[in-house]
Amino acid sequence: MIIFHDLDVLVMVNKITNGEETVLPYVVRRANEKSVRQISAEIRSAQSRRMVGGDMALGEDPWFAGIYSRLPEFMRHAFGRMLMNNPFSVKRNSGTVGISAVGMVAKFSGWVFPVSPQPLMFALGGITQKPGVIGDRISVREYLSACFLFDHDVVDGAPVARFASRLAELAERAFGLCQPEQPDQ
C-alpha cells in the first residue's frame, strides 16, 4: 500500500483562453497545509494564469497538448491507461483527491456521479432551495447536492460511512469558513 502524506486536490478551473471559456484541470498541492482563503486565492490565481502554487495539469502544457492531440485515439487511450495505473503518476498529474463542481457552470438540482483515478472524488451539484426541518419547524433551506466516490480497494466502507457523517456535520456548521485567518508561517 502506498500512503501519500500530502493532500493534492484536483479542481477544474474556468479560464478564458483565446476569448473562449474553457475548463482545465488544476492541482492544488499540499491543500492540507493551507487555509480556505489560501486555497481560494490559489484557484483564483490559476484562473487568471498567475500561478501562486500548485502545478498546471497536463492539459495546460502547450508542448504536451500539441503532441498528445496529434496521436491516434488508440495511442491516447493506451498512454492514459499507463499513466492512470501508476499511483505516483496519478498523484503528480491529478492529485490524490478530486473535486468537480458541476453546479458552478449549470443551475440544476441533481446528483453527479464522477469517474476518477483518485481514491476519493467529490462531485458538487447545484444549490437549491427546499423545505427542511430547523429545530421543530419547517422552513426553506438551501441544499447542496454532493456525491463522493471512493475506491473500495483502498478503504473499507465503515470508515467511509464515519467520514461521510463527520463531513456532513462539519459542512452544516460551515466549519473552517467563519474562523479568523491564521497568519502565514
Q: What is the pLDDT of residue 50?
A: 43
Which tops the pLDDT comparison, 146 or 29? 29
Q: What is the pLDDT of residue 58?
A: 43
Q: What is the pLDDT of residue 8?
A: 92
**Cα atoms in the 13 Å half-sphere on the side-chain side of 76:** 12
Is the whole-model pTM more than 0.85? no
Q: Which tens digit of pLDDT belongs to each residue from 126-162? A: 788 889 888 899 999 888 888 888 888 878 889 889 9
Average pLDDT on 84-90 reads: 78
Could you tell me what percent of the chain has a pLDDT over 70?
79
Average pLDDT on 57-74 reads: 63
> With 70 as the cut, is the pLDDT of residue 57 above it?
no
Domains of the chain: 9-172 (3.30.559.10)
Q: What is the pLDDT of residue 165?
A: 92
d(CA 19, CA 25): 18
Residue 143 buriedness (CB in 10 A; 0-12 / 13-18 / 19+): middle
Spatial contact of 24 and 12, defined as CB atoms under 8 Å apart: yes
Q: What is the pLDDT of residue 4?
A: 82
- Mean pLDDT, the chain, whole residue set: 78
- The edge-to-edge listing of strands for the beta sheet with 97-101 is 55-56, 20-28, 9-17, 97-101, 120-134, 137-150
In sequence order, what are the beta bridge partners of 133? 138
Spatial contact of 29 and 8, defined as CB atoms under 8 Å apart: yes
Q: What is the pLDDT of residue 53?
A: 44
Q: Which residues contact 156 (CB under 8 A, 6 or more apart)?
A: none
Could you tell me what percent of the chain has a pLDDT over 90?
9
d(CA 153, CA 130): 36
Q: What is the pLDDT of residue 23?
A: 76
> With 70 as the cut, is the pLDDT of residue 6 above it?
yes
pLDDT band at 105 (very low <50, low <70, confident <90, very high): low
